[in-house]
Amino acid sequence: MALLRDGVTGMTKVLIVDNQPLFRAGVKQAFAARSDFEIFEASPGDHLPAVLEAKLPEVVLIDIDAPSLNGLKIGKSLLQLYPATRLVVMTPEVNNDELFEVIRMGAAAYLDKKATMQELEGIIHRVARGEYPINDSLLATPKVAEHVLKQFQEMVSMGMTVESITAPLTSRETQILRYVADGNSNKKIAQILEISEQTIKNHVSSILRKLNANDRAHAVVLAIRRGWISINEKPQ
């Protein structure tokens, strides 16, 4: 069972974004008998931010839409708007160039559209738990791993620091991280800010991802080192 964004235990909400109505309907039908999934569908041409606001899915499945790769552009924009959303990118044929781009955009998983329903179900469960199955794909693909490392080395050689590569925190995320640094739990922060505990968890997940932090304490240390928060500064 998954945690819905209002903090209530229930089904994992999954949004399928695909150009093919038959594919969307097929996936939805395959999961119809499952009590732990709630499936929604949309077309890439729909106003997806509005759909996400209305449905609040934990996981978004999106077709890469070869050869235009429009799905990558849409997925990237969705992650910029909703960084706590877990994105699973589907493709008609897995290849290293696509995998590299999908890793760069911050997707949680990269999946062949020919995968079985059992494989898809397993990926969704892992992603909903906060895992990044795409890391398995990276480790299993030395050429892509080498490409990622080479790009990082080029950034450093051009004078870009780790701080400039890392995505900056929003004002709300910085505020929440200050409360974390002050020793507050998610529940306590939610009470102080008068928002749901699940919203706090979503922000914390976004913070960890942006900072490449292993946990809350690691995120605080990284933010202090980069001068984004101070241990002497009280939350506001």
- CATH code of 110's domain: 3.40.50.2300
Domain boundary residue, one of 119, 149, 179: 149
pLDDT at 231 over 70: no
In a domain, 97, yes or no: yes
In a domain, 166, yes or no: yes
In a domain, 28, yes or no: yes
In a domain, 78, yes or no: yes
Each residue of 101-153: pLDDT tens digit?
787 777 888 888 888 888 988 898 888 888 888 877 666 666 666 666 566 55
3-state secondary structure of 121: helix
Assess whether 11 and 73 both reside in one domain.
yes
3-state secondary structure of 63: strand
Assess whether 174 and 197 both reside in one domain.
yes
Supply the angle between the helices 197-211 and 171-181 in degrees, to the nearest 10.
100
- CATH code of 168's domain: 1.10.10.10
Domain boundary residue, one of 149, 176, 191: 149
Burial of 190 (0-12, 13-18, 19+ CB in 10 A): buried
In a domain, 20, yes or no: yes
pLDDT at 142: 66
DSSP 174-234: HHHHHHHHTT--HHHHHHHHTS-HHHHHHHHHHHHHHHT-SSHHHHHHHHHHTTSS-TTPP
> What confidence category does residue 44 fall into, taking pLDDT thresholds of 50, 70 and 90?
confident
Each residue of 8-31: pLDDT tens digit?
446 788 999 988 888 888 888 888
In whole numbers, what is the pLDDT of the chain averaged over residues?
Answer: 79
Each residue of 112-124: pLDDT tens digit?
888 888 898 889 8
Chain centre distance of CA 197: 18
Assess whether 27 and 130 both reside in one domain.
yes
pLDDT at 91 over 50: yes
Assess whether 135 and 41 both reside in one domain.
yes
In a domain, 62, yes or no: yes
pLDDT at 68: 59
Chain centre distance of CA 182: 26
pTM: 0.59
pLDDT at 233 over 70: no
What is the domain extent for residue 111? 2-149
pLDDT at 219 over 70: yes
Considering its fold, how many domains does the chain have in total? 2
Q: Which one-letter amino acid corresponds to residue 101? A: E
pLDDT at 73: 84
Instruction: Locate the DSSP E strands across 48-108.
Output: 59-63, 86-91
Out of 3-12, 163-172, 190-199, 224-233, least confident range: 3-12
